[in-house]
Structures are given as C-alpha cells and as structure tokens.
Amino acid sequence: QLQLVESGGGLVQPGGSLRLSCTASGFTLDYNAIGWFRQAPGKEREGVSCISSSGGVTNYAESVKDRFFISRDKAKNTVYLQMNRLKPEDTAVYYCLAVGCYSDHIGHPGNFVSWGQGTQVTVSS
C-alpha cells in the first residue's frame, strides 16, 4: 500500500533547471520526513536533501547547497526538489525515501529499504 513515486526528471543543458516531485500513494506524507537521494553510474548512492515532516528543518549536501531547494505541499501530498544551475555532475537517478531529517545530516536509509523506480536527470549539452 505504501508507495512513493518520483517524477520530473529529464534532459537539460548545464545551467538549466528542473523540479522533481515525490508523491505518496496509499498514505499521507504529513507525518514523514522525506529525503532525496541520487546515484550516478559508477558512484555510490548519496543523500542530496531532506525535509522534516513539518517542513521546518531542511538539509542539503554541500555539492548542491544554494542550488537545490526542497519543499513540500501537504495539500498535494508531494515533496519537491527544485534544482537550479544544474551541472553535468548532477546527472543521476534521483530517488525519494522516508528517512529522518536533521539540521546537520540526512537520515540514513535502512539496510533493507525498497527503492522505487527513481527519475533520471541528465545534464548535458
């Protein structure tokens, strides 16, 4: 029943913008902190950003700080990741996941997390 669906990825030129969406199906996101993660070919999965259940706490990886912005719309049961000034290094599959979110770090996924399909972001000229 519990499901998160990522969308909004695509092909964009360096310097461009995309907005990713994470929408819940089968439950409400009101009580969940949500994190965005990404995995590029040949690299480890890394945390990108997270937002607390209330939206009052956010965290960003240093590589995306001041370029990416996370938000949530509880009426739409959706968490967004606005990505600006995109770089080729941002190319990856992006996933959202219910995790803890703290001012100094993104909560770690459990060992047996069921990752969704993700959404592909490709930054290339």
Ordered per-residue pLDDT tens for the chain, 125 residues: 568 999 999 999 999 999 999 998 888 888 899 999 999 999 999 999 999 999 999 999 999 999 999 999 988 999 999 999 999 999 999 999 999 999 999 999 988 888 889 999 999 99
Cα atoms found within 13 Å of the Cα of residue 56, Cβ hemisphere only: 2
d(CA 123, CA 13): 5
* Alpha carbon of residue 68 to chain centroid: 10
d(CA 49, CA 94): 11
* Alpha carbon of residue 92 to chain centroid: 11
